[in-house]
């Protein structure tokens, strides 16, 4: 594992998700009632692929990006995970079909989001992701792909900063055992989902900032309660 992420592991091992807050949760309950377990590292961490190694060589400093993702006890990582996880398998299969590494699927998804912490199914276009991956199939290098991804949307940060944030956030989603995600089906409610999963409804509502406003296709965090 690259040195920067070995260092990240040492830092992350002391961090917890229990203090994470969700802005705009109108029905928040006392935090102690719905506290979740510390986030562990995965047992099956994927080694960095060729594109990631090239990115690390070009943008070796990840500490500032790591501090940004750690803010709020990784709430932004969880928010990005909520958008990515429901579609990870088909998008990674798509990258494989184009003979691209797993990190290319992350980058293509990242490229089509204005803000990955708010990138739900309703705000990104799967066909656009496929088009990006297909365009990289022929002759894209890891560095040219990163530059193209940065240019795919108007960005408020320069390429170097964006690239560090992207590759660090991607590896955090790879390395951490993040909460399960449930995609809301027609007719489901907070109560019915909570009952099926054995959770207090107030906790599911609190961790997702929802109550009676569920819509089909929403991705909900399923907290692993203490």
The string of pLDDT tens digits covering residues 159-209 is: 999 999 999 999 999 999 999 999 999 999 999 999 999 999 999 999 898
> Rounded distance, CA 81 to CA 173, Å?
7
User: In terms of C-beta density within 10 A (0-12 exposed, 13-18 middle, 19 or more buried), how is residue 145 classed?
Assistant: buried
Q: In which residue ranges of the chain is CATH 3.10.350.10 found?
A: 180-222
Q: What is the CA radius of gyration of the chain?
A: 18
Distances (CA, A) of 225 to 173, 193, 207: 20, 15, 11
Sorting pLDDT into bands at 50, 70 and 90, what band is 32?
low
pLDDT at 23 over 70: no
Lowest mean pLDDT segment, chosen from 53-67, 120-134, 162-176, 212-226:
120-134
Query: So what's the architecture of 180-222 in CATH?
Result: Roll (3.10)
> Rounded distance, CA 82 to CA 86, Å?
7
CB 199, CB 225: distance < 8 Å = yes
Q: In this predicted model, what pLDDT tens digit does every residue of 66-108 receive, in sequence order?
A: 888 887 677 889 889 999 999 899 999 999 999 999 999 999 9
Q: How is residue 91 written in tokens? A: 């998008």
């Amino acid at each position: 594992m690259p040195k920067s992420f070995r260092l990240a592991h040492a830092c992350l091992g002391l961090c917890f998700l229990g203090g994470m807050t969700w802005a705009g949760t109108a029905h928040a309950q006392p935090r102690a009632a719905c506290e979740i377990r510390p986030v562990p590292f995965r047992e099956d961490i994927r080694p960095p692929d060729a594109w990631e190694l090239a990115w690390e060589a070009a943008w070796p400093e990840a500490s500032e990006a790591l501090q940004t993702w750690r803010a709020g006890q990784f709430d932004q990582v969880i928010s990005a995970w909520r958008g990515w996880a429901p579609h990870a398998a088909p998008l990674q299969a798509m990258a494989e079909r184009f003979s691209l590494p797993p990190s290319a699927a992350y980058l293509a998804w990242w490229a089509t989001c204005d803000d990955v912490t708010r990138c739900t199914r309703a705000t990104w276009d799967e066909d656009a992701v496929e088009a990006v991956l297909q365009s990289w199939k022929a002759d894209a290098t890891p560095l040219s792909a990163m530059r193209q991804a940065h240019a795919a949307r108007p960005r408020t940060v320069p390429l170097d900063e964006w690239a560090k944030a992207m590759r660090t956030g991607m590896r955090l989603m790879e390395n951490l055992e993040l909460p399960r995600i449930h995609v809301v089906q027609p007719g489901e409610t907070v109560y019915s989902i909570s009952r099926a999963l054995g959770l207090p409804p107030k906790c599911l509502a609190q961790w997702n900032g929802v109550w009676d406003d569920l819509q089909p296709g929403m991705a909900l965090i399923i907290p692993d309660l203490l």
